[in-house]
């Protein structure tokens, strides 16, 4: 048969006619391409305006972006101007020490690294002036790489000639940032490296207190319970962030730096009419019981700070009293009676 005969026979087939008469589906490729580029455009606009990724995802349009958890967290953090958990207390504790005190710092890292106060962010940093020796430059750099808990001030090492001023006045420039909470800390503390701070009790004592114009510590003289009389002991005193900002800009501290640093600090507060809110934590803060003085008493459970732990024996007796190893987990790897 000829090809024309076969064609005529196919045309006469009813099924073939239904197929041929069925309208063709419109071409969808242009619509798909347009939609794809429109979604890209929306995602680009959202990124420019800092819209959170989870908001964009509601539209189902940006699922083709891949990211790990850390990069996502970093992106989201940039969009916060305040702490998402602002009810949590933020405290910076600066322990003033010396560059060569490597063993003391490692010991204190154990002391504070095993404390985790609930509902608070407490950062403990070690503070000293510029490094002067080659071994310090290597060993302190290794400490920073490993622990990231050191602040090096631009000063010559001293005790009562401006180190405390440099510490407080340097913090706003070091810590203020558009990327983190504002203020970076509610409170800043200066503490000695022979003071044992019990962070849970410290945080609990801070909860009912104001977060502005606050001056807190162990009031001197020792028999006094009136925080407005003189000043707070250098064992550990704390101020709110607004006072830290004031120290940075005020001329009062700049003109009066020499002398016992805790007394000098109290002079600044008095002359600047700061610290309208004051709190003495006495007798939850005190000197070690021996030798007995008017600033000492026996160790007791409600302690916030014990001062003058000048040797290993006093530290061990104090840590034993507070049973700091009670949460040691049993293991086949060790046996401690």
Return the percent helix, strand and coil in the chain, to nearest 5: 40, 15, 45
Angle at 196 between CA 194 and CA 292, to 5 degrees: 70
pLDDT in tens, the chain (337 residues): 444 444 444 445 555 444 444 444 444 555 556 566 666 655 555 444 443 334 333 333 333 233 333 333 332 222 333 444 457 999 999 999 999 999 999 999 999 999 999 999 999 999 999 999 999 999 999 999 999 999 999 999 999 999 999 999 999 999 998 888 999 999 999 999 999 999 999 999 999 999 999 999 999 999 999 999 999 999 999 999 999 999 999 999 999 999 999 999 999 999 999 999 999 999 999 999 999 999 999 999 999 999 999 999 999 999 999 999 999 999 999 999 8
- Please report the pLDDT score of residue 237 as a whole number: 98
CB 100 within 8 A of CB 136: yes
| CA atoms lying within 13 Å on the CB side of residue 287 | 16
Q: For position 283, what pLDDT does the model report?
A: 96
Interval 68-104: pLDDT, tens: 333 333 322 223 334 444 579 999 999 999 999 999 9
Nearest to 187 by CA among 206, 200, 204: 206
> Model's pTM, two decimal places?
0.75
Query: 239 with 214: CB under 8 angstroms?
Result: yes
Residue 86: per-residue pLDDT: 59
The strand pair at 285-287 and 187-192 is best described as unpaired
Distance (Å, rounded) from C-alpha 179 to C-alpha 145? 22
d(CA 315, CA 299): 12
Radius of gyration of the chain (CA): 33
Whole-angstrom distance, CA of residue 334 vs CA of residue 337: 10
- SS3 call for 35: helix
Distance CA 319, CA 299 (A): 10
Q: What is the pLDDT of residue 222?
A: 95
């Amino acid at each position: 048969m000829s090809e024309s005969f076969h064609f005529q026979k196919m045309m006469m087939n009813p099924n073939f006619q239904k197929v041929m008469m069925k309208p063709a589906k419109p071409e969808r490729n242009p619509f798909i391409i347009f939609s794809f580029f429109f979604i890209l455009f929306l995602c680009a606009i959202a990124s420019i305006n800092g819209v959170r990724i989870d908001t964009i995802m509601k539209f189902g349009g940006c699922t083709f972006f891949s990211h790990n958890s850390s990069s996502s967290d970093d992106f989201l953090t940039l969009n916060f101007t305040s702490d998402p958990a602002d009810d949590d207390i933020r405290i910076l504790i600066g322990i003033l020490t010396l560059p060569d005190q490597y063993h003391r710092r490692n010991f204190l890292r154990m002391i504070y690294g095993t404390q985790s106060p609930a509902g608070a962010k407490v950062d403990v940093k070690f503070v000293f002036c510029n490094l002067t020796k080659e071994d310090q430059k290597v060993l302190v750099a290794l400490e920073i790489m490993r622990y990231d808990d050191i602040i090096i001030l631009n000063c010559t090492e001293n005790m009562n000639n401006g180190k405390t001023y440099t510490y407080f006045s340097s913090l706003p420039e070091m810590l203020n940032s558009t990327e983190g909470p504002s203020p970076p800390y509610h409170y800043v503390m200066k503490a000695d490296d022979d003071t044992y701070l019990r962070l849970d009790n410290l945080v609990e004592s801070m909860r009912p207190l104001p977060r502005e114009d606050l001056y807190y510590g162990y009031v001197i003289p020792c028999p006094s319970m009136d925080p407005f009389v003189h000043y707070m002991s250098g064992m550990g005193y704390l101020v709110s962030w607004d006072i830290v900002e004031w120290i940075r800009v005020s001329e009062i501290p700049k003109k009066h730096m020499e002398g016992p640093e805790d007394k000098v600090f109290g002079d600044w507060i008095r002359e600047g009419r700061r610290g309208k809110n004051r709190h003495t934590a006495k007798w939850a803060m005190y000197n070690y019981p021996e030798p007995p003085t008017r600033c000492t008493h026996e160790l007791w459970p409600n302690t916030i700070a014990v001062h003058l732990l000048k040797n290993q024996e006093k530290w061990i007796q104090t840590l034993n009293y507070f049973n700091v190893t009670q949460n040691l987990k049993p293991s086949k790897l060790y046996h401690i009676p």
